[in-house]
Structure 1
Amino acid sequence: MHTVELLPSAELDSRVRNLWALLASSGLPSLGAHPHATNRPHLTVVTASSLAGLPPLELPLAAKLTGIRMLNRALVWTVEPSPALHALHSSVWSSIGGWPPPEEFVPHLSLALRVPPEAQPAALDLLADVSPMSGRFESARTYDTETRTVRDL
């Protein structure tokens, strides 16, 4: 499988990494503890079996990070689903398919994965005062789940 991922500006990247560090220093799950060299803040647009037919991505793209919430067992910082972001997702999805389809697209930057139910209230409380932040997605990459490698798009 291959992902299409949007990479945030240095300022947004730094802010997400600071939240990762805050979670970790509080003894909570955090993507900051993920050891793989490719680990970095990103927004996954789609995951597909092939990137054949991927259209050019119109970047940079304005982004507004809004609230912190649980998305199943993932702690995420939601990204406002702007018309431009929805258009980009729809263009990619209609060209290469994959997941998620437009009606299930919930744009976000992940802060922690597989957060145990008993840790979720503490994680949400810790980040309850995080202010919304505006920035941009400036570049894109793909992650190959078989080779565990990334490539710029």
Structure 2
Amino acid sequence: MLERLQKLFQSVTHSERASRQLTRDDPRVAAAALFFHVVDADGDVRPNERKKLRDVVAAAYDLKGSELDAVLKAGQKADDEAVDLYAFTSVLKRSLDEDQRINFIELLWEVVYADGERHELEENVVWRIAELLGVSTRQRVWARQRVEGEQD
């Protein structure tokens, strides 16, 4: 998993991160907002889902402490204020290549399975995000199957 995370966000350097403001145009905030959206989709947010979300964002962007808290807070606020997913997916589509977008879908599946279940509402949100990111149905299903295989 760590290798996938590193590949996923290798394009963001430390100097770029330091100079960015935490807005919905920041890929870190956009990604966090999408993770929050998936976690909240079924209306039953469990502690293990929140922990997985936090761990994924921390590892993906090499964040910790107050910097991680700030990105998560900005991501949750952006998700709460959003009217659609396009604002976030368009940021990620511009900043991630095709393989990184597929890896992002895998990370979404990891968050979905953090509570041991795959709820149809969570699955629907991942499907919509994948479509907006240009990830094919085949790639989305393969990503889900890889994550399911790791769960066994």
Q: Given the two structures, how large is their TM-score scaled by the length of structure 2?
A: 0.32
Name the structure with the higher strand share: 1
Bigger Rg over Cα: 1
Q: Given the two structures, how large is their TM-score scaled by the length of structure 1?
A: 0.32
Q: Which has the higher contact order (CA 8 A, sep 6+)?
A: 1
